Amino acid sequence: MNRHSAHGKLVRDRIPQIIRDAGEEPVTYEADTEEYQSRLRDKLAEEVAEFLAADEESAPEELADVLEVVRALAGELGVGPDQLEKLREAKAEERGGFADRIVWTGNR
């Protein structure tokens, strides 16, 4: 499934404190850069799967989780949110977005 030991998963920064507030003691460690980048990719797949399985009510929150991971991945690539948006805008300018709902079925 993933490239890491069976132990652990990447969690949001405040999760350990939330666990402490619930009366438990979390066991955590800080991933090195290579592991962090790999676990972020795993987390993206996890969050996308949750979005795809979500009902209409929970879909926006799940999509926000996807965006959080995308922003973290971009940061690891040295791309800030503003630069990421500029890249998206440039691609949309060149190739368009998805608002017209066009489905391509091939060429004649």
Q: What is the pLDDT of residues 78-108, one digit of tens each?
A: 999 999 999 999 999 999 999 999 999 999 9
Q: What angle do CA 71, 42, 32 make, to 5 degrees?
A: 75
Q: Where are the domains of the chain?
A: 15-95
Q: Where are the alpha helices (DSSP H) in 1-108?
A: 15-21, 33-53, 59-76, 81-95
Fold of the domain spanning 15-95? Helix Hairpins (1.10.287)
CB 39 within 8 A of CB 31: yes
What does the alpha-carbon distance between residue 71 and residue 53 come to, in Å, rounded to a whole number?
Answer: 22
Look at the block and give the residue holding tokens 């690891």. Answer: 76
Give just the sign of the alpha carbon dihedral 12, 13, 14, 19: positive
The pTM assigned to this predicted structure is 0.85
pLDDT digits (tens, 9 = 90+) for 61-71: 999 999 999 99
